Every structure is written in structure tokens, then in C-alpha cells.
Structure 1
Amino acid sequence: MMIHAVIFDMDGVLVDSEPIYQRQELDLFRELGIEMSEAEHNQFVGMGTKTMCEILIKRYHLNWTVPELVEKSERMYLEYFHREPTITPITGAETLIQTVYQLRLKIALASSSSRENIRIVLERLGFGDYFPIRVSGEEVPQSKPAPDIFRLAANRLQVEPAHCLVIEDSRNGVLAAKAAGMRCIGYAAPNARSQGLEPADIVVTHLTDIHLNTLISQF
């Protein structure tokens, strides 16, 4: 089955934003009076902000509406993001994107982040022109691990899901890609929290280990 399109996750694949998210979410939990173990926190990695807020409100009986908590969480994230003096892409990310173009494959970005967060991150990375097709978590009814975001990306690419390859760094993202009927490469960054990426077709520890020109004919 030949690959005709590659769909990238953003956070943790193009940019190492996990430390920012981790600090922001832990500070948010403290403000809300929530004590959470690392294992409990890990379940939210790759999940959309709206879904995370829905779970928090229900589980901890918070006196917040979902829109209010989403707005607070996203505002905090942008504040933390703008404090970072430098934002650099993950090693090998731009080369991998350029390889997609050289192979004349279609390309898209599918991130649980909001449209505005996606725009800001891509702008700071200088990657805006690489991804004319973008899908945000705001655009689908269910966030990862549901397949909605990847199915919408395939629809916009006009490529059947079976011909799409997803690059993901979270378990929720990998499960979403597989549920959408796509091939998936799990990126287990050496400094990232353990995510359980075993459902992926292949797991790599460096983006430079992904050799697309070989893989697209093997899948």
C-alpha cells in the first residue's frame, strides 16, 4: 500500500513544547486545587484542551464552565510560550518536511492545539509555508485518541486514510491514527515522558531515523 500523504502532529514532533505544556498544566492544576500524579497527568498528553477541561471539571467537580477553563488554559499556555527566549524545531523536523516535498507527497498538520496556537508556533518556527493544510482540535467533535482529526485531515488532502502516514509522539495520537486506518510512526523523543507508542507501525527515537523514500514503498 503506497503512501501518498504525510500528516504531522505539531507539539512534540515539530517543536519540543512538552516542557512548556507540562509547566503550564501543573500550574493550572495547582491553581484549581488539584493534586495529580505523573501517571494521571500523562493521560492528557496529545489530548485537546477542551477534552482535558471537560474531564477535569467532571472528575474534580470544578465550579467552571468548559469554555471558561479552556480560555484560561490556552491563555496561560500562550503566556508561557511567549516567555521562551528561543523556540527551535526538533532536530530533523525540517529535513523530514523537505523530504516530503521532494518526494511530491501531500502534506498536512493535525494538532490538538487551537488554530491560534498552531499559527503562532508555525510562525515562530518559520514553518508556516510548509503547511497550507492544517487541522486543529477545535474543528472536530472528539479529540485524540478518537480518529476524527486525522479523518478530517485525509478529507482535506483528498487522500484515502489507508494511503496516509502519520508522525506522532503521544499514545493518544498513535491510537487516533490507527483508528483512522492510517500507518503511523511513533516518535519517542529521548527526553520525553514514556508514552506507550507500541501500537505504532514503527517507533523511532530520532526523526533522522525516518527514511521516507524507503518507507513509502514498504507500507
Structure 2
Amino acid sequence: MAMRERAVEAIFFDMDGTIVDTEMLWAEAMVEYLADRGISGDKDEIISIVYGHAWSAIYEKIVALYPRTSVVSVNEMAVELRDYYIKLRNERDISIPESVECLRRLSAHYPIAIVSGSTRIDIGDTIKLMGLESNVLFYLGSEDYQYGKPHPMCYEMAAERLGADPERCIVIEDSRAGIRSAKAAGMRCVALVLEGALQQEIDGADLVLSSLADFGYEEAERVVKNGA
């Protein structure tokens, strides 16, 4: 008896705000980083800059908003800011348990990659912290692609690496920029809207969920076959 062909060829997870609840931590870290340099950062403004964007884009916007930070290079600021982030991360539980278990569950059926705007060192650390080393085939960070989300490059690169048809790939995202990136790459997109998270436009997502607790093989196949 022939096995039924799977509709899904690969699943790509965003990281911050999707697997781990860290976007607010990055915003808080930036506020503290600026304060230690005598700069009063607008937290709401910084939150809007951080959510869903690659580090290179965040750096450019921070420098434009606070010109005194321009004396520090993009790489230098990343290293310095990370110390603030790690301190906050060590004080809190950053896991989104339902998302972590969803990733593990789906990895039994499909190749899984993490495609994030964070740096590779932060993605690698998160994978280890969540115990996902055996579940994630590879990951792409901000150093790996020239244009960050909402540009489709990162997801296009992920599909190309696997030789996967973009129309048969699913992206799981939490931000407007990420959803736009996935759809521009020609992929299906599941939007995760967690309670208490920053409200963003999710137009274009094929499926909107408040939790990934019940998202598994059958649901993934249905997203590609039926669009929802």
C-alpha cells in the first residue's frame, strides 16, 4: 500500500515571541543600555522597534532615534546589549511551553528550522536552553541574510537550503513583519497571538492561533491543503 504524500515539506519557526517570550526583554535591555549611557529611552518607541525586526534594522532605528549611540558599531552594540539581555533572561522563565512542545511534536514529521532576526549566538543559546538540539535541523540568524523581515530573503533561503517548495512550507510567526516576510516568500503562515503580547496587524496569515498547544500534524497538513 502506497504511503500518502505529505502536503507539508518543511516548517519554519520564528523565535522571539513565538518559541520564547523575549521581545519585551530585549526592549527592557535596550532601555537599560541607553540609561547607562545617559540617554532616556522611550520604552514604547523601543518596543515598536524591537518587535519582529532583525538586529541590523533595530540598530539602524536606534541610531536614528538616539544619534549619540552612533559611536558604537552594530556589532559592538550587539555584544554590549546582550549582557543586559542575559541578565534579564536569567531572572525569568522565557519559555512558551506550548510552542516548545509544538516544535518537538512537528519535528517527528517534518524538517524544522528556526528563522529569526536575532543573532546566531542567541538562537543557539535558546535552542540549548529549551532542549531542542535534536529537533531543529538548522537555524538562520540576522548575520545570515542581507535584508531582514518583512523582506522574504530569510525564508527564501531556508526553503532553498532544504530544496523545499515554498508553497508547501509553513511559517509560524508572531509579528506583522514576520507574516509579511512569510507571505512574500510564497509560504503559508500561522500567526501566534499570545495573550498580553503587543497587538499587531496579522492580515495575510492563513491561520491565527492564541496557542500552539493543539497544532500538530493534521493541522499543519490542513493549512497547506486548504489554506487554513
The TM-score with structure 2 as length reference comes to 0.84
- How far 1:214 sits from its partner (Å)? 3.0
| Structure label with greater radius of gyration | 2
1:162 pairs with 2:188: no
Report what 1:175 is aligned to.
180
- How far 1:34 sits from its partner (Å)? 5.4
- How far 1:35 sits from its partner (Å)? 4.3
Query: Helix, strand or coil for the counterpart of 2:195?
Result: coil
Could you tell me whether the CA contact under 8 Å between 1:87 and 1:124 is conserved in 2? Answer: no
What is the CA–CA distance in structure 2 between the aligned matches of 1:82 and 1:128, rounded to whole Å? 23
Could you tell me whether the CA contact under 8 Å between 1:89 and 1:125 is conserved in 2? Answer: yes
* Structure 2 residue runs without a partner (length 5+): 1-5
What is the CA–CA distance in structure 2 between the aligned matches of 1:73 and 1:187, rounded to whole Å? 27
Report what 2:67 is aligned to.
61
What is the CA–CA distance in structure 2 between the aligned matches of 1:129 and 1:196, rounded to whole Å? 33
Deviations 1:119-146 (A, max 9, x none): 1111111112211211111111111111
The TM-score with structure 1 as length reference comes to 0.87
* Structure 1 residue runs without a partner (length 5+): none
- How far 1:48 sits from its partner (Å)? 1.1
Aligned length: 217
Deviations 1:43-94 (A, max 9, x none): 431111111112232454346257x244224432344324514545312123
Q: Which runs of 4+ in 1 moved over 6 A?
A: none
Report what 1:72 is aligned to.
77
Report what 1:90 is aligned to.
96
Q: Which moved more, 1:116-125 or 1:43-52?
A: 43-52
Q: Specify whether residues 9 and 32 from structure 1 end up closer, same or farther in structure 2 by C-alpha distance, changes over 3 A only.
A: farther
Deviations 1:168-200 (A, max 9, x none): 111111111111111101101102111222221
1:207 pairs with 2:212: yes
1:101 pairs with 2:130: no
Could you tell me whether the CA contact under 8 Å between 2:33 and 2:84 is conserved in 1? Answer: no
Report what 2:48 is aligned to.
42
Deviations 1:13-37 (A, max 9, x none): 1111123112112223444635436
1:146 pairs with 2:175: no
Query: Helix, strand or coil for the counterpart of 1:108?
Result: strand
Equivalent residue runs for 1:107-146 within 5 Å: 107-146=112-151
What is the CA–CA distance in structure 2 between the aligned matches of 1:52 and 1:32, rounded to whole Å? 20
What is the CA–CA distance in structure 1 between the aligned matches of 2:179 and 2:28, rounded to whole Å? 23
Q: Specify whether residues 182 and 74 from structure 1 end up closer, same or farther in structure 2 by C-alpha distance, changes over 3 A only.
A: farther
